[in-house]
Amino acid sequence: MPKDKSILGAGLDRRRFLQVAGASLAAPALATLPAGVARADDVVNLTFWAWTPGTQDVVNMFEKKYPNIKVNLQNVGQGAPHYVKLRDAIKAGTGLPDVAQMEFNSIPSFKALKALADMGTSGANDVKDKFVDWTWKAASDGDKVYGIPWDSGPMGLLYRKDVFDDNKLTVPETWDEFADAALQLAKNKPGTFLTDFGAADAGWIAAVLWQKGWRPFHVDGTNIHIQLNDPIAKEWAGYWQKLIDAKAVDTAPVWTTEWFAGLDSGKYASWITAAWGPTLMTSSMKASVGKWRAAPMPQYKKGDKIDSNWGGSNFSAFTTSPHLKEATLFATFMGGDPDAGKFWNTKEFLFPVQKALIEDKELMGTKYDFYGGQAVNEVFAAAENQVDVGFEFAPFQDYVNTQIQDELAASIGGKGTLADAFDRVQDTVVSYANDQGYTVV
């Protein structure tokens, strides 16, 4: 079995900003327990690790519905510290929770460690049809289920209508049009940028390359195909290199106070972001209320409707849990209960993964003053059903992310081009995979 010595990124990223997200709901009715779950006076205690605000409220809903299952929610750290503690418990052979929050890009690494339980053996597939297809496929392997989808991050474009109008820019439908608009804005108003190149967040890099057809990894047991520097990546790098060299996009670090201020002031006229982005803006900006709008992500070919995903989590159970049926019941409730799903969306603005919620015209049709009365959820609801399912994360994605961020930053700082950065990442990751016991094919 491959080893896992992944280096977890400790930098500021979207996870920390998700703490400020927020924006209804009734508790579910009591229900009888499914077959195979402890009954009567047999109280089962589950330990659950998660960091998202509001989680205890939904745990309370579950305990009200299933009073003989008690859930001890623990926040052992947000993002990187959470995964470090999970890995430490795996290494120690003790201390794992029954269920934990697990982001989509982390499932392959914990699956490779044989730490994730197959919830399919305990009835998880009974709720399969509730979920948007790509989210279910991303956390499962055939009938084997390693995560119950919780939320997602289909991609779109948030843009400043006032800046676009003042500079006679049209909302770009393609990436060629996006580049033209960036160059035009740089010419019309030097110091104002169509966007900031998000090299400091590898999740963003993967999402925008994902849409273009980038498939850097394929894992088959201990065999792994790695092609980080393929022609798709090189062409993409050349596209952004041209805009950077022309000073048509900025290269300032993302997730900083200055970066958010740039969005709020109009220095940056757009943000290519995920469905959780709109609420981060409303929580962080005061000067640009009513000036923002949402549009679909630009396409590489006019008329296409291909999207990708950035972020999102699942509920995963662990092989060490002595209560897999109850853990599975809990996970399927947390991700698949309709009222819980509404709570996540309206109270915490986690974007839905349940088909019924995506199709809920009232929920998706909510209008926001920050976006000039636009129902921005509708844009991302359409994108949710257009996510290309073919993307595969590495079983050591955290290490890959660190290399991508470091090497792109080095290129921006003068160490060759962005295309050169992908060559360096390729060499480093291949070496790392070999060291972990994989056979690179």
If DSSP states are collapsed to H, E and C, what string results for 84-126?
Answer: HHHHHHHHHCCCCCCEEEEEHHHHHHHHHCCCECCHHHHCHHH
Contact (CB, 8 A) for 342 and 363: yes
Beta pairing class for 44-49 and 69-74: parallel
Q: CA 285 from chain center: how many Å?
A: 22
Nearest to 398 by CA among 10, 6, 71: 6
Nearest to 14 by CA among 284, 245, 231: 284
Domain 14-152+311-358 -> CATH class:
alpha beta
Residue-by-residue DSSP string for 44-78: EEEEEE---TTHHHHHHHHHHHSTTEEEEEE---S
pLDDT number for residue 14: 52
Beta pairing class for 313-317 and 217-220: unpaired
274 has which bridge partners?
155
351 has which bridge partners?
152
Domain 155-306+390-440 -> CATH class:
alpha beta
Q: Give, for all 441 residues of the chain, the pLDDT tens digit.
A: 444 332 223 334 555 444 444 332 222 222 334 445 555 458 999 999 999 999 999 999 999 999 999 999 999 999 999 999 999 999 999 999 999 999 999 999 999 999 999 999 999 999 999 999 999 999 999 999 999 999 999 999 999 999 999 999 999 999 999 999 999 999 999 999 999 998 889 999 999 999 999 999 999 999 999 999 999 999 999 999 999 999 999 999 999 999 999 999 999 999 999 999 998 898 889 999 999 999 999 999 999 999 999 999 999 999 999 999 999 999 999 999 999 999 999 888 899 999 999 999 999 999 999 999 999 999 999 999 999 999 999 999 999 999 999 999 999 999 999 999 999 999 999 999 999 999 999
**Number of alpha helices (DSSP H) and beta strands (DSSP E) in the chain:** 18, 13
pTM of the entire structure? Answer: 0.89
Tokens coding 341: 């799903």
Domain chopping of the chain, boundaries: 14-152+311-358, 155-306+390-440
What gap in Å lies between CA 290 and CA 160, rounded to an integer? 9
Contact (CB, 8 A) for 63 and 340: no
Q: Which residues fall within 8 angstroms of residue 199, CB to CB, at 6 or more apart? A: 205, 251, 405, 408, 409, 412
Tokens coding 394: 């590495």
pLDDT number for residue 5: 32
Half-sphere exposure of residue 321: CA atoms within 13 angstroms, side-chain side: 28
What gap in Å lies between CA 9 and CA 295, rounded to an integer? 31
DSSP 8-state code for residue 158: E
Residue 424 class from Cβ within 10 Å (0-12 exposed, 13-18 middle, 19+ buried)?
buried
DSSP 8-state code for residue 255: S
pLDDT number for residue 39: 54
Tokens coding 196: 């900031």
Q: Which residues fall within 8 angstroms of residue 176, CB to CB, at 6 or more apart? A: none
Query: In angstroms, what CA-CA distances link 138 with 103, 389, 393, 430?
Result: 10, 7, 10, 24
Per DSSP, the three-state class of 271 is: strand
